[in-house]
Amino acid sequence: MKGVTLATYSKFLGRPATKEQLRNISDAELGTLYRQGYWAVCKCDELPAGLDYLVFDLAVNGGPGRAAKTLQAAVGANPDGAIGPATLKAVNQAVEQRGLAAVAKDFSQKRQAFYEALPTFAVFGKGWTRRVNDSFDTALSLGQSDGTALA
């Protein structure tokens, strides 16, 4: 379902949705839902290129609160599950001190550890691990294309 639950889609529509409606969600609706329900909630516009992608991908896969807590853990911010000014300041400081690649790697390792702790890791772990690795690689390429130093 492209990372969207029936409850999330129903909330987006402002009314109960059916599974069939969710299966047939349009690309335009999906884009709006992603932007409003995940990208904007996680303040991805305010994150460095590459890190924005990692946070967004986990928000879609594990929820915005999980993405925020993972980012906060990676940068040493209070893990309250909401990205606000204190978290953004901690992100900027961590990237400045350690570099974007190191922050992205720490985020990805924390994401992987979260998945490994789930009781369903034996069933879904291979796919989750592939997603973590693929999203990390994509994040690095996005950071590079932005001209951001990844060292």
At 151 the pLDDT is: 43
Give domain 44-145's CATH architecture. Up-down Bundle (1.20)
CATH 1.20.141.10 placement within the chain: 44-145
DSSP 17: -
> Which pLDDT tens digit goes with each residue over 55-114?
999 999 999 999 999 999 999 999 999 999 999 999 999 999 999 999 999 999 999 999
Distance CA 135, CA 53 (A): 8
At 145 the pLDDT is: 61
Read off the pTM.
Answer: 0.90
Tokens linked to 19: 């599974």
Q: Which long-range contacts (CB under 8 A, 24 or more apart) does 91-96 make?
A: 91/47, 91/48, 91/51, 95/48, 95/51
Nearest to 61 by CA among 17, 124, 109: 124
Helices first, then strands: H and E counts in the chain: 8, 0
More confident residue, 140 or 2: 140
> Which pLDDT tens digit goes with each residue over 14-70?
999 999 999 999 999 999 999 999 999 999 999 999 999 999 999 999 999 999 999
Kindly tell me if the per-residue pLDDT of 148 is higher than 60. Answer: no
